[in-house]
A and B are shown apart, each in its own frame.
Chain A
């Protein structure tokens, strides 16, 4: 037992740089629950005790992955209504240190409030990368003082 412990510590310290990559090893599926098959986004959002929140308070919020490492997926840029009247959250998504980010529109039913942030629980980062870039035509911006209802989640562990 002590021998194997010593070897692990030795290997770990020798490959510190490689090991630091290990800290990013996470499950690829969201910790939050995407809707089970057959259930719509709206129905699953309704199960999360949606709470009133002021749209103006959402702008600028970090959008996180529902995993223990709390990866930042992007920031909330705007909240809009699409042609069908559905509320979409426009997220400044992806990129690195400000480069390569693009706007995508995520249905608010796919997201939750988590304290001072938000999370996308219904789509994986891989799925989000396939979202089309947001185009404002046909959408209307929701005013900052409007109160909408958004579901909740507990912190991911």
Chain B
């Protein structure tokens, strides 16, 4: 097996602090806060949606809604939004400032994506080293982060369409902004289904988000950025 001689000789690869866990405690806290808050936003959003459906014929029964009726779905939604934004901003700041995003989510090579999708479809998601994200993981995490940001932007537009009328115009009008807000929710729910299913299928990843996971080694991170022939999973 090839060994990368010295990670420091490649200036583009970020230097992880040796001995650091896959998921440091700030990440874990923010992750679980976000999990709860996102569920609040989604299910209260479904309650608001029901008040005037966007897809005619498509309606959420009360089992799926947070808030007995419209007024309380709204109250949950407008309360949850603060936690979503504050926690989200903390997470984005942490991710950029510590270099975690660059380290874990980049680069994404199209060939890797195809490879990993094929593996997943063959039910090969053994995932020996969970400290390195495969290409599909990176893509999905980037997508869900962008979707979350989009929800905040479209949410602001439909919350204050007169005060933020410029933003609404950019989005194509009030009803279009509403549809985009709903579509962003659909993307996030799609992500959640895949994310939760895979976490349950590879339980050590779930445990890692509770207890921190294996310690990151410089080797594994270097391999992530300079893969050998053949795939890393």
By a beta-carbon cutoff of 8 Å, the part of chain A in contact with chain B is 8, 12, 16, 19, 22-26, 62, 64, 68-72, 155, 157
Contact = CB atoms under 8 A, between A and B. Distances in A.
A101 B57 CA distance: 17
A25 B51 contact: no
Given A68-B50, A157-B51, A23 B64 contact: yes
27 contacts: A12-B63, A12-B64, A16-B193, A19-B63, A19-B64, A22-B63, A23-B58, A23-B59, A23-B60, A24-B59, A25-B61, A26-B59, A62-B56, A64-B56, A68-B53, A68-B59, A69-B53, A69-B56, A69-B58, A69-B59, A70-B52, A70-B53, A70-B59, A71-B56, A71-B57, A72-B56, A157-B70
Interface residues of B, number: 14
Contacts, number: 39
B99 to A, nearest CB: 35
Contacts of A72: 56-57
Contacts of B51: 157
| Interface residue SS majority, chain A | loop
Per CB-CB distance, the 7 closest pairs between chain A and chain B, nearest first, are: A69-B59, A71-B57, A70-B56, A72-B56, A22-B61, A70-B53, A23-B61
| Interface residue SS majority, chain B | loop
Interface of B: 50-53, 56-61, 63-64, 70, 193
Nearest to A20: B58
A71 B58 CA distance: 8
Contacts of B58: 23, 69
